[in-house]
Each structure stands twice: as structure tokens, then as C-alpha cells.
Structure 1
Amino acid sequence: MVPFLKAAQYEPKSPNEHVEGVSVILPLEGRSGYVFVLAYLGKKNPDNEILLQLLSDHTHRLAGSFGKDANAQHRFEQFLGALNETISQTVREGRFSVPIQNFHAIVGIICEDRMFLSGTGELSALFLHRKPSQRYQVFNLFRGIQTEQSLPTWEKPFAVVLDGDLEDGDVFCVSQKDLQRFISTDDLNSILTALPPKSATEKIRQYFGANDGLLLLIIKAESAISMVPESYAKPLSDVSIDSFVRGQDETSRLLDDQKPDLVGFFKMHTLFFFKKLTERSRILTDLQRGEPRRKILFKLLLSVGHNLWKTIRHTFKGISFATTTLIHKERRTSFLQSIPTIPARIKQIWLVQIQRFKSLPNRTKRFVLLFVGLLLILVIGLTLLSRMRSASETQKQFEQKISTIQDVIDRAGGAMIYRDENQARTLYQQATSLIQQIPITKPTDQDAVNKLTKNIETAMNELRHVVTIPNPALLAKLDTGSAEQKGVRMVRSGALFYAIDASQIIWQIDPATKQTKTLSPNPISTEPIVDVSEEDGHIFALSRGNQIYDINVKTAEVSTVSITHSSNDAIVSLLAYASRLYVLRQSANNTDAEIIKFTKSSTGYGSGTSWISSKTKALQNPRALTIDGSLYVLYGTENVSRFQNGAEVGWQLGIVEPVLTEPTRIWTDANSAFLYILEPISKRLIVYNKATGAFVTQYTSETFTALADVLVDEKTQTIYLLSGADIYTISAGHLKH
């Protein structure tokens, strides 16, 4: 039986009893239990109030959000994780400065017959357990905490969790005073076990001086209130109540006599029906006359045998007739000709039966109709009962499966609190597999499954380090006033951005004023632009026909860049860097690619030279390249190769979920520690650590419907994304850690 819990805390009666601490005990919302905190900071400090208020706020939040179906252990672990994180974050931000040696606190939750608590420092936490012999065993719970806890730190002040069962008669008492030193053991045990918690707090307070500050919490588990024996003398009030109840029952009975009795109606007619059956039954008549039982049994067997013989005879006769009809041509023809008349014959038989029914006496017709009605009610009732039982069993199984899945999700949430991402990922995958096996029979079941799926997806996004941007800020729009222009590539020159749209028009964007204008009204090429790069105020644009254009952003002049290359190989990307042009050239059969370097001279760029001197594998299906001193080539579905001085160096991307399938752009520069890869099909930008290749985070938004290019300004921690005719900005949150 779950014990009945009583709790109390000492409340100071005057300002002279002030103590540098706080004690809070609150009932759990919707459950039998309490959540409590008692903290003592010893010396006065202006920052004490911040820490004490933080503890009080978290305790009130836990008590107010504790649902009737909540798992006490899981909620307490979540509470501790959030409390430790908030305290450590507040310390790191320098919001308060309190030595950890001065911090003595205990937090806990008692829910029904289970208790969970954690603490730090030195407090008096006594637990009195009542044995079957009615004797008490006293435990100092803080000794257990101090034994398991290493040196306390602000990174995780509440590091040890104690749990146990609470039984009838058990008492839990916590105070910043060493109660066993001020009060004798016998007196203290007697006070805690014999008095209610409220009286016990007042009694203990009398052992200390009038101006001594005291923090004290007492929680006591008592058995349910027993029933009062029946042998006690009834007061007049009880007699009056009994008389009133009897009178009320008598009035109800008299009123019921005046109501229509549908059950009595059916009972009367049913008895009458069976009475008529009994009168017309020869067997029952013989029994009533006292005929020998052997003679009655013989008649019964004779009647059953006679009816069975008639049934068998007619069956074989029918089979014989059917066989003869099929064998003889004349009978077969006659039978086939009679088939169209079957409906009319059936109708005639039906009409005859109806006429016979009408010719029956009214009493007989009433009995037949009653019997048919009762039979229909019985069949319908049994059918509904079977369906209700089946639906109830199905719903019970569904709820059990949902409960199992929720338990797995709770365990995964606990693993995330302790930063065990591998265990959390495994548990969430297990929960997803269980959800897929649940049969859906009604819309409410689908809603419950959708809710669990959404919770798992949210948690998995956290494990995958997915940052969802619901409404990214719009910086500019490529709009001529009459029509939007879809952007294909974007570069930066100085403080301005330049975008090339699908009509090969160059747009100038000022991020400070958010103003856009065309650099020139005329397109720079008749062919689509596939890549752009910028150096020293010049934009180099690569067309689909392998033609490179040089655009001076100051004068808007466009000139062609003459380079010598194989006409059979397609150029998929280019870079302008240190007065050189690097082009990524794809082989004719798309089995490999190479980087050609063109050096600028007084007469142009001339013939290029192959830049790659060694590599470990073919660059099949090349997509883009970027440079920061090293060259990075994006190719295939999720491959990036790094080259230094023409030679490939050992380096690879870390694992990201979901895996890359169709990346299109890659970006970095000499000042960035990160590598950015754009994948339009999944509406996301993935960030990697450039030094190690490790995955860092990924940004996504439903707004990114047509991602085309990306630029990053790490000084302002801003990411610029070209999507269709829009240029969006998002905050680079990974740069803030």
C-alpha cells in the first residue's frame, strides 16, 4: 500500500532568525509526493541571493510541471541535469562568486513510495526506518553522498544520486544544524517518530536560541487512516443521517413502482412463451404424467432417428435426381429451361409462407415475432460484445506498446542528459523500429504515434546537431519590378555582394542598406553561367561552353579570358587566386577530373599546366572546388579530397546524418577554421572542422527551396545563402561556442 505522506518545514517567526539559506517543500502536481530543496551558504555574500533564487526557481518549475503519469526517476534525473547545467553556466558567466566550500545543499523528490535525492557539502540528513519489530534504525544519508562524491566543483555540484523505498512509519529530516549534537538521540528520535511533522519542527526549534537561524524539513510516511470500529456509540448526527438515507431509499422505491418496467414486460411474455411451449411438448407432458423414463427416452430416440433418416433419404434422393438430370439430355434441357423461373417460384413460396403466417392465431404470431426479436437482440448483442471485447483488447495492446516505446524514449532522454550520444541514438532507433510495428486502427492511435514520432525526430535532430531556422532573415531579392530573377551564383568583392541570375545579368547587393541594382542591363553571356570567382575587384564567370569572362566591378566592363584547353573536356568549376586561374576539368567519359592552373602574364593566361601531381583515387563526378592555400575538391556524393602543392594529403570528412547524396557547392577561405558544403536537395548547409574533417553542425530551413550558393562572413558570424531570387542571412551559431 502506498503510504500517506505528511510534510512540514520550519518558518522563521522574526527577522532576527535570518539565515543565509533557503528551504522549499512543494507538493507534486497530480501525484502523492513532494519536491524539496534545502541550501545553506554559511557566510554572508551579496551573490548568495542569486544562487538561492536559482535553486528555488528550478524546484517550483519541477513541482508545477510534474504530471500524474510522469516517471519520478526520469524527471529527477532531468531536473538534476538542468540544475547542474544552469549553475555551471551561471558561474562561467560570472553572475555570482561563491566558494564551493561554502555551498551546502540537498535536493530531492518523494513520490508515493520512492525517494530520490542528491546533495553537496555538509548537512544533517537523517532517515529513520521503522523495522517490523517497531524499532527504528537511523541513517545519516549525507555520509553516503560524501562517500561517493569526489571533491565538489561548480561544473557538477550535484553529482551523486541516492534512491530508496519509503514505507509506513519512515521519517526523513534534513537541517543545516547537526541535530544529533544539540538534541539527545532518544529525544530526537521520539520527537520525529511520535509527533506530526508540523509539531516536530516547532518542538525541535525550542532546543536552539531565539536568534539562531534554523532551516528544517521533515517528511513522514504514515499508513492510511484505518476504519473506525462498528462497536462505537453512534452520535445523534449519525442516527439522523441513517434515518435520512433510509427515507430516501424508500422514496426512490415508491417512485420506481410508477415507472414503466420494460424488463418486467419482457420477463412476463418470456415466461408465458415458455409456458406455452411446455404445454405443447409431448415429452414434458409425459414427464408430468409420470411415464417411465425409459419409455420417454425411447420415444425421443425414435423421433430423432426418424427425422435423421428422413433427412438422409431426402439428401440422397436430391443427389440422385441431380445426377440423373445432368446425365440425361432431356432432363438437363428441361432443368436449364426452368432456371429463369426460379425467382418467380421463390417469390411464390415466400408469398405462401407469408399467407400461412397471417393465418396463424394472433397469440402465435406474437410469440413468433417475440422469439425472432429476442434472437436478433441476442445475435446483435453477442456481435457487439465480441467487437467491444476485441477493440478493448486491441486498445490495451496498443497502450502497452505505446508505454514500452515511451519507456525506451525516456531511457534515451536520460542517456542524452549524461551525453552518451551513441546509447541515445541506439535507443531512439529502437523506438522508431517499435513504432513501425504498431498497427493503426483509429485516428486517435495515429495521433499518438505521430506525437511519438515527432518527439523522436526532434531528439534525433539534436543528436544530429541539426539547427532548424524557421524564418531566416531576408537580405535582398533579385527583382526587376516586373519579375523575379532566379540566382545561380554569388561572390563577394569588398563590402558588396554580386549575384548572377539565370539570364546572365549581374546584380550588385549592398548588405548595409539592403539595396539591389543591376551592374549592367546587358547579359554577360548567351550561355548559362556555371561558376564564378572574385579577385582584386574582378569577377571571373565560367559559362557552360567553357568560356571565361572577366567583369570589372568598378567599370562594369566585360571581357573574355583566352585560355587553351581541350574542347572535349568540360570545365565544371574555377577559382581566381594569387593571379592564377584554377579550373576543375572533367574528363570526356566522366571517370576522372584534373585541375589545370593558368598563370596570368602580360599577354593573358595562355596555356595551362596540370596542377595535381599525385592522388589516391579518381575524382569521378566532380562538382566544385575551393581554396585557402590548399585546394579542396568536392566530387561524387560525399567525397572531398585535399591537395597541397599538387599532392593529395590524408584527410576525409566525418560522418553526418543523413548522409550527403547530392552536394553542389563547397566554401572556405584562409581565415576560416571550417569547411562549408551546400546540399540543395535536403535544404541544408553542413559545417565541418577543416583541420580534422570532423562534422560540426548543419543548418536547415523549409524556406531554402532552391539553394544555389553560400558565402560566410565569420567576423560578423553571418552566413549568406542564395536561394532562388532571395538572399537570406542566418547566424553562424557554431562560431559562438
Structure 2
Amino acid sequence: MLKIEYSKISIQPDKSKTTCQIFVWDLFNSKEQNEELACKVFSLVEIASLPNRKINNLVEEIFGEIKPISSQNFLGKTPENFFENLVQRINYRYVELVGEEEETDSADWPPKINALLLLSIGKNIYFVQSGKIRPFLIYRTKPDGGYKIMDISENASGKENRANNINIFNNIVSGKINIGDYLLLTTESLLDYFSLEKLSNIVSASSPREASRNLKELLAGPANPHTSFGSLVIKLKEEEAKEEQEINSDQKNNLPAPSQHSMEKLLGTVADTEKFLTPSMHMNLGSTFFNFFEKVKTSLDRKENAIKNISQHNAFKIISKISKKTVSAIAILARGFFSALIGIFKFLFIVITNKNGKRKDVIISIPKNLKTKINNIKTKLLSLPRSSQISLAVVVILFSIFLGTTVVAYSRYKNELALKNLNQRIEDIQTQKNLAEASIIYGDQVTAVNSLREAEKLLAEFPKDDPKLNETYNSLNNDIQLLGEKIRNIKRITDLAIIVDFKEENQETKLDKFILSKTGIIALGKESSSIYTYNIKDKKILKKQTDNLAPALACLKDEDTVLLYGVDQKLFEFNSIKNSLKQIEVASESNVDDMTIYNQKLYTVSSEANQVFKHSPTIVGFAKGTPWIKGEVNLENSKSIAVDGTIYVLKNSELLKFANGNKIDLSLTIEPALFAPTKIWTSSESSYLYILEPSSKRIAVFDKQGKLKIQYLFEQLDNPKDFSVLEKEKKIYLLNGTQMLSFDITHL
């Protein structure tokens, strides 16, 4: 059972210079006349005049003719006749009303009317159009493909249909649409704010009701307060019926295949409604005029046949002679070709097999045999009659022309095919880009990401070695990059501030980590023999020799004290104010991958022990760690740990979350996915998780449920190593090689 789903958009500002009205009527058919068909009449009217009672009454009077007719059945009429009668009634009523007003007030009368009237009965539609109301069909190019949009009025008539002083409507257009197709009837004002592709994406992405709501929301901001909008979104749907459920699969397979798309049916009929309003003599004159030219054409054809019969016999004799000479010349060429081909095969056979030891003799005799063959051919050609020589020359010339033409045609065909494929690729990229943009509007992140990936895949196959296509490629690439940044919440960081370069103190230094203390920055590296402290206030660098400490890990213990963990599993305290270093005690039975301080307790993560340990403070350092994680968990390849009351462990591309010793499910939503992150940062005062991935040169920020907030991208850096966050200052500090950098964050 077919169903028509529709929705109206009517925006009529107080200061509007035009008046828009929308009418929808149901048709009630008798049971004998396909009661199950969806039948409605739609009308969209725009009058170029300020809204007033006089204009409203005029529209109501004219299109009110539809209501009494729509409440009746067809009474044995075909849909075409019914619609023609309806149009005729409206035209008559228009003439009556305008004529009455002309007698009393002709200054601004009659008003300019833009109108469209559409009858939908099942898959059949009939419509008449006047002025600047635009009907669009939005249809699928393939069963599972995307949608395309077409202006029906342009393809039906090629020119705008205008109302005149006699009637409103002139031409009727009829045709068929398919289930799932959309019709968009709109005033031209909507096209000032949306491209056709944008309208197609918005309308086809959801139901007519949702499409109308989205269009109204988008128009709420940029729309001109003096502009009115009127639109109808119509969709043909199919509801399941009991009869359809009883059809078995064999019967379905025997059904005829549908046409390629509904546009092949839509523009089937254009009927001139003037025949209902003018005498029949109009058409009789046209018929007489047409018959006159048919007779003239028949007479000319007879004369031409007579001339052909007179000269046919002589022409046949000439053609016969030329054909014989040509066939003879072709036979000579064919004999020579096959003789040469046989000689080549014989030569190759002897050379390859060395039959009877003749390979050397055959190779030596090549120049002599070739010269002999040429002379024989020359002699045969010269011995031919003059006519045969001419025929042979003509054949050679024609063959050369044919060969050249074939090569040129094939080359042109390849170029046209390549151009067609290129245009199709560009169209596919644009389609995926538009689909991604539409998905963003509707909040469909999954479809947006998938469409973006498909567009990027198509762009990767785009020919880049043709200079003529560089501009097109760069434009598409730029558009897709901007769209990707929008979908992936990427912010490019270009204004990085350089705080200090520790290479100024030591050209050979290699740094891996840094800690932000109350007074400065403490930088160190496991391959460095020194610890560097940069005082932010006086901008001086202090250096502390560490001998063979080789600190692999570091974390802040208090405002001025840093804990250092060496490769030999020893723990040290470094005081940045005193520039002093001392070893402290800690009992650890396994290697430590990372460590941090929370609530004065030391937390360490160990892949070797597959555990997180909590160490309580003692007078001389920290006590032996107690296992904190309950149950079985895989902590292999752990990279970093952060604690805010909940414990987060970063391993490979996965982030594990633990509360009260138990693992809690956490999934990070990010595109592209994390591949090789190295550090996580958070605190009990922060609402976010910060993760550094040096390989992709980004810091990703998530809320604590794993939803992506933003990605900070710094492509200009060559060696990002470590980072720290000061949310109160809205800054991130970043170690790149030996440089300390900072940039402002915008997500807070």
C-alpha cells in the first residue's frame, strides 16, 4: 500500500514583501477506483505583494475551487481528465476575479502570482506551474546509491511558465516517480541560502518532517527578515500489506525489473491546457499546416527516387570496375604479407633450433635475401597494369588513412574515457564530502567519519602527476582536510612559544622528560649525565651532575622536590631549590614502567609483575608496594600511569581504568584511532584526560567517559617527547627535542 508523507515550511515575516500560502487536500476515491492509492492535491502559491486581506481573499477564492472537487470521487473520470477539469476551473475562477477587480482598481492589479498545483495518485503525478515556484525531484541513481536532484520544470519545458491575463496555468506535466523518491516544491528564496546539493542531502537524509525542521533551524539565523519562504517536502512510501506478505520469493523473482530511475518516466507527457479554453479551429489550423509539409516532403522523396533510378545502371558499372581493381590490389598485398610472414617464421625456426646447422648461414644471408625480396616486389609492382598500380596506391593510402584515423580515434577514446573516469571520481568525492557535511548537521558521527574516509580513499587515487589537475586536486584536498578537522575536532597549533632551549647549556644533551615545579622546569634524560633546572623568574639554567644515575622516570613529589627512578631500579630525590640529589629507600621486586604521586603515596605500574603497586611514605623513603589491582588483567607494554582517585594505565593504543582495584570499561572515541601513545595526564581537579602521541604529533583530550573533546595538532614539531598541563593558566607545556614550548588551550 502506497502512502504519501509530506511536510510544509511556511515562514512569513511581518516585513516580508511577498505572501506565501500552502494548501493540501485529500482525494476521496470510490472503492471501485483504487481506494488503496495515496491521493492528494498540493498547492504552493507566492504573490509578489505585502500580506493583506485582499490578497488572502483572492488566493482563497481561486484555490478554494479545489476543495469541493476534492471531496468528490472521480465519477468515472481518468486522473488526467480530473486534473484538467480542476485546472480549467481554477483558470476560469481567476479570470472572473481579476476581471471584477480590474473594473474598480487597476493600479497594482492583477498581482503577479507564482503558483504550482500538483496531483499525486499512487506513483503518478500531474502538475501545472506558473512563475517562479521550483519543483525538484530527488531520486536514487542506484538501488543502494546516493541521491541526485533534478529541476523538473527545466527538463519538462526548458523555459519558465508564466501566468498571463487570460489564465494562471498553461502546461500540464505528468509522469511517474518511484517509491522512496522525494519531491521538493519551493519558492526561489530558499535557493538563495542553499545549494541544490545541500538541499538534496538535507531532504534525502531523513523523513519530510525532519527535513523541514532542519531547514527551518538552518534558516533561523541567516535568513533576511524581509524574505518569506514556502516549501513542500513530499515522499512516496510503501506500507506493507497482507497481500504483499503472501507473495513467495519465486514470484518476486519473476517480477519485471524496474526502470533505471524515475526520471526516465517523469517527463512523459506535456498537455496544453489551452485546448480547454480556446476553439477547436486552433488545432485544425495546426493540423492542416502540418499535413501540407508532409505532402511536400513526399513529393520531394519521389523525385529523388526517380533520379536515383536513372543513374543507377551507369553508376553500377563504374563501381564494379573499381571494385575489381581494388580486390585485385588487396589480393596482391595479402599474398605478399602472408609470404613475408611465412618467411619470418621459417627464419625464426632455423635461428632458434639451428636445424641442420644452418643458423649461421641464415643470419649471414639476411641482407642479401632482404635485398632480393625488395627487388622482386619492386619488379612485380612495375609489371602491374597502370590501373592496378593506381588501385594499389589508393589502397595503401586509404589503409594509411584508416590506420592513422584508428590510432587517433583510439587515443581520443582513451582520453575521453580517462576524463569521464576523472569526472566521475570528482563527483564521487563531492558526494561523499556532502554526505559527511549533512551527517554533521544531523549529529551522525559514524556516517560522517565513514564518508570522510571514503572521500580520502578516493582522493588518494586521484592522479597527482598531471600539472593541469593540480588546482583541482589541491582544492579537493583542502576541502577534505578542513572537513576532516571539523569531524575529528582537530585544532592546528601554529603559535608555539619557545620558553627555553637546553641545548644552549650543553650542545650534546639529550632529554626525555621534564617536570613543572613551583619555581621552574626540571628537565632530564636517561642518556644525559645532568639534570637541568630552568628558573622561570630569572630565566637561568642550573645544571646538576648525576654521574651514573641515568634517570628513566620522574614525577613531582611536592612543590620543589622531584622523584627520579634510575635504570638500576634506584630511587632518588632532587630538590630544585637546593639543587641537591639524594638516594631514598623503596622496596621494589620488579621493574617499573611509570610512577606518579597521589595523596602523598607513590603509585608504580609494572608490566613485569602485571600489577599496580601503592607505596606508603616512610621516614627514609617509601615502603614496599602493596598490589592494588584485583583479579586478572593484562598490563603488558604499559607506558604511563595517572591517578585522580581512579587509576588510568596507558598501554599501546588502549587506556585501562580501575576503581577500587577493579577494571572499569572505558572506550576512547577518536578518529584516527590512537596507534602509539606514550603518556597520559590528569588530576583530581581536572575533568579531562590528556594523551600524547608523538608519532602523529598530537595531544588528544577526552572527558573521563572517553568521549573526544579536542585534538591539538602540532605538525611543525620534529621530536615531541613529553608534556604537562596547567589548566589554571590554560596552557600546555611541551618538550620537543631540547626545546621547552607552550601553547594556549581552547577547550576549557
Counterpart-to-counterpart distance in 2, 1:166 and 1:408: 33
What does the per-residue CA deviation read over 1:508-547, in whole Å, with 9 as the maximum and x for residues that have no partner? 5668558240242x13644352333332421111112211
Match of 1:561 among 564, 567, 584: 584
Partner of 1:415: 439
Shift of 1:712: 0.7
Match of 1:472 among 490, 496, 499: 496
Partner of 1:574: 595
Matched pairs, number? 471
Counterpart-to-counterpart distance in 2, 1:636 and 1:609: 25
Partner of 2:560: 537
Counterpart-to-counterpart distance in 2, 1:185 and 1:407: 53
Partner of 1:629: 645
Partner of 2:733: 720
Counterpart-to-counterpart distance in 2, 1:533 and 1:553: 11
Partner of 2:719: 706
What does the per-residue CA deviation read over 1:425-456, in whole Å, with 9 as the maximum and x for residues that have no partner? 33333434555676789454565345434422
Shift of 1:188: 4.3
Shift of 1:555: 1.1
Counterpart-to-counterpart distance in 2, 1:398 and 1:165: 42
Match of 1:650 among 664, 683, 690: 664
Partner of 1:198: none
Instruction: Indicate how the Cα distance of structure 1 residues 307 and 492 shifts in structure 2: closer, same or farther if over 3 A, else same.
Output: closer
What does the per-residue CA deviation read over 1:154-212, in whole Å, with 9 as the maximum and x for residues that have no partner? xxxxxxxxxx9999xx8644579997699999764425479xxxxxxxxxxxxxxxxxx
The answer to whether residue 586 in structure 2 is matched with residue 598 in structure 1 is no
Match of 2:546 among 502, 523, 529: 523
Counterpart-to-counterpart distance in 1, 2:745 and 2:357: 91
Of residues 424-433 and 633-642 in structure 1, the stretch that sits farther from structure 2 once superposed is: 424-433
Match for 1:672: what amino acid?
S
Match of 1:661 among 649, 669, 675: 675
Match for 1:518: what amino acid?
L
Match of 2:407 among 358, 362, 383: 383
Counterpart mapping for 1:361-372 below 5 A: none
Counterpart-to-counterpart distance in 2, 1:453 and 1:173: 46
What does the per-residue CA deviation read over 1:291-328, in whole Å, with 9 as the maximum and x for residues that have no partner? x99xx99x979x979979x969x98xx89x979x99xx
Partner of 1:123: 14
Shift of 1:502: 4.9
Match for 2:596: what amino acid?
L
Match of 1:617 among 610, 614, 633: 633
Counterpart-to-counterpart distance in 1, 2:736 and 2:359: 79
Shift of 1:581: 2.6
The answer to whether residue 699 in structure 2 is matched with residue 685 in structure 1 is yes
**Percent same amino acid among aligned pairs?**
18
Structure 2 SS opposite 1:696: strand
Query: TM (normalized to structure 1)?
Result: 0.53
Shift of 1:389: 3.3
Counterpart-to-counterpart distance in 2, 1:539 and 1:330: 88
Partner of 1:190: 110
Q: Which has the larger radius of gyration?
A: 1
Partner of 1:103: none
What does the per-residue CA deviation read over 1:671-728, in whole Å, with 9 as the maximum and x for residues that have no partner? 11111111111111111112x2322221111133222211111111111111211122
CA RMSD after TM alignment: 5.1
Counterpart-to-counterpart distance in 2, 1:477 and 1:176: 74
Structure 2 SS opposite 1:629: coil
Contact 2:560 2:577 in 1 (8 A): yes
Instruction: Indicate how the Cα distance of structure 1 residues 721 and 482 shifts in structure 2: closer, same or farther if over 3 A, else same.
Output: closer
Match for 1:729: what amino acid?
S
Instruction: Indicate how the Cα distance of structure 1 residues 730 and 367 shifts in structure 2: closer, same or farther if over 3 A, else same.
Output: same
Shift of 1:577: 3.8
Counterpart-to-counterpart distance in 2, 1:425 and 1:331: 69
Instruction: Indicate how the Cα distance of structure 1 residues 496 and 178 shifts in structure 2: closer, same or farther if over 3 A, else same.
Output: farther
Instruction: Indicate how the Cα distance of structure 1 residues 702 and 393 shifts in structure 2: closer, same or farther if over 3 A, else same.
Output: same
Counterpart-to-counterpart distance in 2, 1:471 and 1:582: 36
Instruction: Indicate how the Cα distance of structure 1 residues 120 and 625 shifts in structure 2: closer, same or farther if over 3 A, else same.
Output: same
Match for 2:583: what amino acid?
T
Counterpart-to-counterpart distance in 2, 1:449 and 1:657: 23
Shift of 1:551: 0.8
Instruction: Indicate how the Cα distance of structure 1 residues 415 and 635 shifts in structure 2: closer, same or farther if over 3 A, else same.
Output: closer
Partner of 1:583: 604
Structure 1 SS opposite 2:503: coil
Match for 2:649: what amino acid?
V
Shift of 1:623: 1.4
Match for 1:340: what amino acid?
I
Counterpart-to-counterpart distance in 1, 2:482 and 2:331: 73
Match of 1:550 among 573, 577, 593: 573
Shift of 1:423: 3.4
Match for 1:599: what amino acid?
S
Counterpart-to-counterpart distance in 1, 2:455 and 2:523: 46
Instruction: Indicate how the Cα distance of structure 1 residues 519 and 396 shifts in structure 2: closer, same or farther if over 3 A, else same.
Output: same
Counterpart-to-counterpart distance in 2, 1:656 and 1:455: 21
Instruction: Indicate how the Cα distance of structure 1 residues 372 and 330 shifts in structure 2: closer, same or farther if over 3 A, else same.
Output: closer
Of residues 537-546 and 174-183 in structure 1, the stretch that sits farther from structure 2 once superposed is: 174-183
Contact 1:124 1:142 in 2 (8 A): no
Give the gaps of 5 or more residues in structure 2: 1-7, 24-41, 59-102, 115-312
Counterpart-to-counterpart distance in 2, 1:485 and 1:734: 34
Counterpart mapping for 1:21-100 below 5 A: none
Contact 2:553 2:595 in 1 (8 A): no
Instruction: Indicate how the Cα distance of structure 1 residues 432 and 409 shifts in structure 2: closer, same or farther if over 3 A, else same.
Output: same
Partner of 2:190: none
Match for 1:641: what amino acid?
K
Partner of 2:161: none
Contact 1:582 1:596 in 2 (8 A): yes
Match for 1:492: what amino acid?
L
Shift of 1:574: 1.9
What does the per-residue CA deviation read over 1:112-167, in whole Å, with 9 as the maximum and x for residues that have no partner? xxxxx98856437576xxxxxxxxxxxxx55569xxxxxxxxxxxxxxxxxx9999
Counterpart-to-counterpart distance in 1, 2:670 and 2:416: 44
Instruction: Indicate how the Cα distance of structure 1 residues 613 and 421 shifts in structure 2: closer, same or farther if over 3 A, else same.
Output: closer
Partner of 1:694: 707
Shift of 1:489: 1.0
Structure 1 SS opposite 2:592: strand
Partner of 2:369: 345
Instruction: Indicate how the Cα distance of structure 1 residues 697 and 334 shifts in structure 2: closer, same or farther if over 3 A, else same.
Output: closer
Instruction: Indicate how the Cα distance of structure 1 residues 171 and 122 shifts in structure 2: closer, same or farther if over 3 A, else same.
Output: closer
Contact 1:540 1:576 in 2 (8 A): no
Partner of 1:731: 744
Partner of 1:204: none
Structure 1 SS opposite 2:480: helix
Contact 2:492 2:712 in 1 (8 A): yes
Instruction: Indicate how the Cα distance of structure 1 residues 180 and 578 shifts in structure 2: closer, same or farther if over 3 A, else same.
Output: closer
Instruction: Indicate how the Cα distance of structure 1 residues 174 and 608 shifts in structure 2: closer, same or farther if over 3 A, else same.
Output: farther
Match for 1:681: what amino acid?
S
Match for 1:668: what amino acid?
T
Counterpart-to-counterpart distance in 2, 1:702 and 1:579: 37
